[in-house]
Structure 1
Amino acid sequence: MPDNPNPTVRRRVLGTNLRRLRERHGLLLEHAAEQLSCNISKVSRIESGRSPIRPLDLKALLDLYQVKDPAMREGWLFLARESRKQRWWRVLEDQLPQDFLDFVGLEEDTSYSRGFQPGVIDSLFQTKEYARAIIGGGSPKPLGPEEQTRFDVRLERQKALLREENPIEVWMVLGEAALRQQVGGPAVMRNQLRHLIELAKLPNVTMQVLPFSVGAYRGGPFPFKIYRFPEPSDMEVVLLENHISHTYLEDPADIGLYADIFNHLRATALGELESQSLIESIIRETDA
């Protein structure tokens, strides 16, 4: 299989964790290359995710890195097999930016997400009508071609939350402003808020609201998400979104900072039952 300048998320995760294993044992690229009887550039491409790794080579590296537990080794081999699969969103590479497709891959391949959305409902929680209004910027005009593709992808992404096998676990703190901004109008918002109540009942969803009454809070009004990959990876990634791009932070110091901010937010926000009560009270207000 040829090198891929835009590797899948799983391949990047596999490569990053292999590099961490190597460094944990104080080994250099030269040692891994010698184990595989190849040149250093091949190992570098594997660790960057640009090249896939054969099961035989992976087993050799696991031997070198002293990974002996059978279940752990099988976990690594499973991750390698999954990293070679073609994902459904790859057919959209000529329609959407690469960093957006990487974002889609995160939700498909990670097992746990926690984050903060101060001003809008998180995309995984959005109804069709709310999502259409957000993507269309509030315009009543039909969505353009790229907007329609983003809309379709957003609905497809939500299946990660509801899939029968290994649904993604989500712990989200929503700002009260996200519940009160009349996106799409009162009827759309009422349905959206009722949808939040139903999602909060799912065993894999934890939802809290940060009320206006808390005043200033750590981290400021900036959205973020922290994604965690399933074992054998111990890797987490912070996602920062803006109007034109997605930024990914993988440095442990950055992840630690955002984990501390999230812990502050969840401790400051209303509890789950109190959050649901606030959502229900806002629904009654819009019904009045």
Structure 2
Amino acid sequence: MPDDPKPTVRRRVLGTNLRRLREEHGLHLEHAAEHLSCNISKISRIESGRSPIRPLDLKALLELYQVDEPSARDGWLSLARESRKQRWWRVLEDRLPQDFLDLIGLEEDTSYCRGFQPGVIDGLFQTSAYAEAVIAGGSPGPLGSDAATKLAVRLERQKALTRSEHPIGVWMVLGEAALKQQIGGTAVMRAQLGHLIDLARLPNVTLQVLPFAVGAYRGGPFPFKIYRFPEPSDMQVVLLENHVSHTYLEDPADIGFYADIFNHLRAASLGELESKALIEGLVSEVPG
């Protein structure tokens, strides 16, 4: 099978976890290659996500790594099948940077996300008008071609929240500033706040607000998200966003660091009911 210079997130997750299994059993690339009667480079490409893996080869590796429980084996085979699927965003590869394509893949392929957005409503929760205002960044007139593509992709990403099969679970902490910054004007903000209230009713969404009254807090005013992949993977990825790129952290120490910050933020924030009441109060204050 030919190498893929831009492997899907799920394929990289599959490869990373196969490497983890191999290392947990004290095996080297040579052992896996010998078991499959192939060269070491094939195993390396599979573990890096550059090459897909055939079901027969996966079953052989699971046997080598002593994954015997039927449901666990089924989970690995399902992960492999999903990793071979073409995703809707692949047609945009020439129009979007790879780090942004990775973000879309995370939201499609992960089962759960925790995050903090101090100054803007998170992209998964934005209305079309609010998202357009954010992307425009205060520039007047209609969006250009690239910006219009970003808007369309952002709205498509949001379907992960309401898809019929395994919608992504999201626990988001929003800073009070995100609720009060008048992005797009009063009408846009009123609709956006109402949309947040609707989303908070979804069983897979937990929304909390970090109020101004908290003062200084752990981690500072920097947004982040922690994505978790479904079983059999136990992999998590931290996403850090800035103006020009997305950075992904996979080291367990980094994940633990941001998980600790998130736990402090959620503990310092208003509860779900209090957060909902605050947002409802803000809706009533915004001119209709």
Query: For the superposition of Structure 1 and Structure 2, which TM-score range results when normalised by the shorter chain?
Result: over 0.9
Letter in 2 for 1:94: D
Which ranges of structure 1 fall in alignment gaps of 5 or more residues?
none
1:173 aligns with 2:173: yes
1:151 deviates by: 0.3
**For residue 192 of structure 2, what is the aligned residue in structure 1?**
192
Rounded to whole Å, the distance in 2 between the matches of 1:165 and 1:78 is 14
Q: How does 1:73-84 map to 2 (within 5 A)?
A: 73-84=73-84
Q: What does the per-residue CA deviation read over 1:155-197, in whole Å, with 9 as the maximum and x for residues that have no partner?
A: 1000000111110000000000000000000110000000000
Whole-Å separation in 1 of the counterparts to 2:252 and 2:36: 29
Using the TM superposition, give the Cα deviation of residue 140 of structure 1 relative to its aligned residue in structure 2, in angstroms: 2.6
Instruction: Determine the structure 2 residue equivalent to 1:202.
Output: 202
Under a length normalisation based on structure 1, what TM-score does the superposition of the two structures give?
Answer: 0.99
- Give the % identical residues: 80
Alpha-carbon displacement from aligned partner over 1:63-117 (angstroms, at most 9, x marks no partner): 0000000111011011101101110000000111011011000000000000000
Spell out structure 1 runs of 4+ moving beyond 4 A.
Answer: none
Amino acid at match of 2:171: W
Write the distance in 2 (CA, Å) between the matches of 1:87 and 1:282: 39
Residue 139 of structure 1: how far off its partner (Å): 2.0
Aligned to 1:252: 252
Shift, 1:231, TM fit? 0.6
Residue in structure 1 matched with residue 112 of structure 2 by the alignment: 112
Q: CA deviation at 1:280?
A: 1.1
| Corresponding pairs, count | 288
Calculate the aligned-residue CA RMSD, in Å: 0.8
SS in 1 for 2:206: strand
Cα distance in 2 for residues equivalent to 1:277 and 1:139:
33
- Partner amino acid for 2:63? D
Question: After the TM superposition, which residues 223-242 of structure 1 pair with which residues of structure 2 at under 5 Å, given as runs?
Answer: 223-242=223-242
Shift, 1:5, TM fit: 1.5
d(CA) in 1 for partners of 2:287 and 2:254? 43
SS of equivalent to 1:14: helix
| Residue of structure 2 in register with 1:142 after alignment | 142
For residue 95 of structure 2, give the secondary structure of its aligned residue in structure 1. Answer: coil
Aligned-partner residue type, residue 202 of structure 1: L
Aligned equivalents of 1:228, 1:138: Cα separation in 2: 34
Counterpart-to-counterpart distance in 1, 2:65 and 2:163? 35
Structure 2 match to 1:60: 60
* 1:24-39 matches, cutoff 5 A: 24-39=24-39
Query: Residue 268 of structure 1 aligns to which amino acid in structure 2?
Result: A
Structure 2: unaligned runs, 5 residues or longer: none
SS at match of 1:158: helix
CA-CA distance at 1:31 after TM superposition? 0.7
Letter matched to residue 273 of structure 2: L
3-state secondary structure, aligned to 1:171: strand
Shift of 1:285: 1.6
Q: Give matches, 1:80-95, under 5 Å.
A: 80-95=80-95
